[in-house]
Amino acid sequence: MATALVPIELPDWAWQRAEVRQALRARDIGAVFRYVQQYSGASQGRIAMATGMGQPRVNEVIHGRREVIRLDVYERIADGLQMPDDARHLLGLAAGREKHGGSSALDLAAFPEVVRVYASQASATQEIQQQARTATEVDVLAVRGLGLIALNDSLLRPPLTRPAAPERRIRVLLLDPEAPALAMRAAEIGESAESLAGGVRLAEARLRELAGACEVRVYRYRTLPTWRILRLDSTLFVSAFDAGWEGHESATYKVMETPHGPLYRGFRRMFDALAAESERTV
């Protein structure tokens, strides 16, 4: 028989303390439980009753011997501790109740999708390569992709090819060398259309070489590029194309998938839609 959960109520000011908000943002539930004990006087058993977790498990979480990773458990914890909506947002959860209307601005810290901003791709290289080594789903939206994935010394080629991972799926969107948008992009960066088109074709040829190690699909899109997207499973690295600079020179935003965040879902939806209307070449 299921045990009825008995919520714990903390004073409003407790959820506004900097250390509590930092623990929520980091999803450090052990720290959250310790602050609940400090500010409410609740015992481990009382926290267990409120969150639907066994007392031994609560003890392990508090002492760092176990982590909380499941979204349904985060939801139970938020409900059991009667977290206000801004605290739920910091934890990556939707508001406890839907709100309609109103025009007040919200604290950006309440939307933890963008977890880091790098000055350029070079600053993010180590983290991108580390995640690429274990990623099973890789999406790349680029112009020609030579610096990202097509060449032996490009950003993703070494971690994606050593060791080979047959279960890995790679999708690459490149700008169609025959599209008017390619000539426009070439003019923006001061390069000839012939040179840029040759780079795209070289990238396609080099990407065919990956097909023997894992599933590789390459597509040609025809619109003027705006976003440069690299998805490694549930993490996105996003930068922008603009007149005068290449995508790797742009600030790079690390965007994580969260239960209700719009950015990750929106960029992935855009990639899927672009792939669906593009010509597959590999």
pLDDT (mean) for 14-37: 91
Q: At residue 148, what are phi and psi to the nearest 5 degrees? A: -90, -45
Q: Compute the distance between CA of residue 49 and CA of residue 121 in angstroms, rounded to an integer.
A: 47
Q: Compute the distance between CA of residue 185 and CA of residue 224 in angstroms, rounded to an integer.
A: 7
Position 220 scores a pLDDT of 97
Cβ proximity of 232 and 128 under 8 Å: yes
CA-wise closest residue to 220 among 173, 179, 282: 173
Position 172 scores a pLDDT of 96
Q: Compute the distance between CA of residue 208 and CA of residue 211 in angstroms, rounded to an integer.
A: 5
- In sequence order, the β-bridge partners of residue 172 are 140, 218
Cβ proximity of 217 and 171 under 8 Å: yes
pLDDT tens track for 172-204: 999 999 999 999 999 999 999 999 999 999 999
pLDDT tens track for 106-153: 555 555 678 788 888 888 999 999 989 889 999 999 999 998 898 888
Position 110 scores a pLDDT of 54
How crowded is the C-beta side of 222, counted as CA atoms within 13 Å? 8
Token pair in block for residue 40: 């409410």
Q: Which residues have C-beta within 8 Å of that of residue 104, sequence separation ≥ 6?
A: none
Token pair in block for residue 203: 């990238």
Cβ proximity of 36 and 42 under 8 Å: yes
Position 104 scores a pLDDT of 47
Calculate the average pLDDT of the chain: 87
Q: Compute the distance between CA of residue 91 and CA of residue 78 in angstroms, rounded to an integer.
A: 9
Q: At residue 136, what are phi and psi to the nearest 5 degrees? A: -105, -20
CA-wise closest residue to 210 among 177, 176, 166, 249: 166
What is the model's pTM? 0.64
What domains appear along the chain, each with residue ranges and CATH number? 12-94 (1.10.260.40), 114-280 (3.30.870.10)
